Amino acid sequence: MLKAVLFDWGDTLMEFVYAPELVAAGHRAGLAAIGREGLPELTEHFREEYEPLFWVPGTIEEIEYPQLVRRLLGDFGIGVDETELGRFLEAEHDAWDPARRLAAHTHPLLEALRERGLKLGLVSNAFDPGWLLHRDLEQMGLAQRLDFSVFSSEVGTRKPHPAIFERALEALGVEPGRALFVGDRLYEDIRGAAEVGMTTVQALWFRADENPGGAEPDHQAFTQLDVLNIARRLVAA
């Protein structure tokens, strides 16, 4: 019998719309937060030297983003202490708010699943510090609905590595065979969850991933309501 449903975050519970101009906007906001203005060449340097690190296929280890930012600033002779680094990271992160849009039926879906006695979790690849990401969940009203959430920046490894899935399952007290994982990416989400032993659902309401390195999902959901119907059947099985 199904005991828990775990979700990916970006492009599953929340749409993430990448916009290149937000990179520069984030850097401007971060610099302003530590009393530095201008410096457009910082973004150009980031794109050349650091941005490629985010797009290495098959990367399992998560980027230590705070240390990357410290190095980026250091390249321009800007030294920051922990407090200043935190201010930069928070301001930069907040500049990306326009890119984050909660899916329309996320709250009703989570409420309906909880009403059926299911535990709810979130497992996400995200390089920003955990304290900022958990704050996002609070602001979106998701923290109150989730029993546990974990980000790759907190574990040090990214999906599809089993460690991040196992962290969530252990926290929820649920065996993999009694858990459903819902995510949009065939490699990171579906393959990763399947290899741990979870039943998988590919979320298709934002995007249709076709990564040949991924795995075939057990189910497909074209709407968030489809997830609820799948969960209902598995609870009754």
* Contacts of 21 by beta carbon, 8 Å cutoff, 6+ apart: none
DSSP 42-75: HHHHHHHHTGGGGG-TT--BPP-HHHHHHHHHHT
Query: Is pLDDT of 185 > 80?
Result: yes
Counting beta carbons within 10 angstroms of the beta carbon of residue 180, is it exposed (0 to 12), middle (13 to 18) or buried (19 or more)?
buried
DSSP 187: I
Q: How confident is the model at residue 4 (pLDDT cuts 50, 70, 90)?
A: very high
Q: What is the pTM of this model?
A: 0.94
Token representation of residue 17? 């719309």
Q: Which helix (H) or strand (E) holds 199?
A: strand 199-203
Query: Is pLDDT of 44 > 80?
Result: yes
Helix, strand and coil percent figures for the chain, each rounded to 5: 50, 15, 35
For residues 130 and 134, give the distance between their C-alpha atoms in angstroms, rounded to a whole number: 6
Query: Is pLDDT of 231 > 90?
Result: yes
Residue with tokens 């699943």: 113
Widest Cα–Cα separation across the chain:
62
Q: Which helix (H) or strand (E) holds 202?
A: strand 199-203
The values of phi and psi at residue 150, to 5°, are -145, 145
Percent of the chain at pLDDT above 70?
100
| Interval 111-166: pLDDT, tens | 999 999 999 999 999 999 999 999 999 999 999 999 999 999 999 999 999 999 99
Coil, helix or strand at residue 158: coil
| Interval 10-40: pLDDT, tens | 999 999 988 889 999 999 999 999 999 878 8
Please tell me whether the peptide bond between 160 and the residue prior to it is cis, using omega within 30 degrees of 0.
yes
For residues 125 and 35, give the distance between their C-alpha atoms in angstroms, rounded to a whole number: 31
Query: Is pLDDT of 57 > 90?
Result: no
**Beta strand pairing status for 14-16 and 100-102?**
antiparallel
Query: Is pLDDT of 60 > 90?
Result: no
